[in-house]
Amino acid sequence: MEEGPLSEYPVTLLILGLTTLLSISAFSNPKLFSDLLFEPFVIKARGQWYRFVTHAFIHANWPHLLVNMFVLYMFGRNVEPLLGYFAGGLSVLPFVTLYLGGVLFSTLPSYRRHVRDPNYRAVGASGAVSAVLFAQIVMVPYAPISFLFFPRPVPAWIFGLLYLVYSWYMDKRQEDNVAHDAHFFGAIFGVVFMVVLEPSLIRGLIAQLTNAF
């Protein structure tokens, strides 16, 4: 898809800028990092429910931040204006709902699994970014995506598949504070959100993927 003017995706840019600033600040401020991360045991014990959202605005390290913000930019700049079209009006509210809904929905399984584990912690916008990515896949599955690791553009649905494979691999390693499993549940939320918003999209997606094989 061709990139439109910056005014067509202001929320994407706002989230990208805020997340980058907070993440960089948290890299050198352990207290800020600790105060914002996702910690189910602490959420339950102290009633700090805000952590369901704030953890999405900090990241574990530079690679984690860059990957998530790259994917947010590549897909958010398309999804935000498209949501305005499908919602029949301004795109701000549906995009914010998609993004924050992805944050919240993707953390629920981890919360239930680790609410009694005082050692579990996670950070990152993985669930929200995955929701945005898969919202675009539902709308335009064959939109070409160009990125550093491939010399030629690939369809959005292939990029999405590779993204989930990477997430599955990193989740199995369990070597960082990144909520890699959130990608899967964020993807589910993104698909469900678009189907609720415009039910005909799922039929079009199934038809296109069926024809491809």
Q: How many helices (H) and strands (E) in the chain?
A: 10, 2
How far apart CA 43 and CA 115 sit, in angstroms, is 8
How far apart CA 92 and CA 29 sit, in angstroms, is 31
CB atoms within 10 A of CB 56: 30
How far apart CA 99 and CA 102 sit, in angstroms, is 5
- Tokens 């912690």 appear where? 121
Q: Which residue in 80, 97, 123, 115 sits closest to 189, CA to CA?
A: 97
HEC assignment per residue over 158-194: HHHHHHHHHHHHHHHHCCCCECCCHHHHHHHHHHHHH
How far apart CA 46 and CA 33 sit, in angstroms, is 17
How far apart CA 123 and CA 30 sit, in angstroms, is 13
Catalytic residues: 126, 183
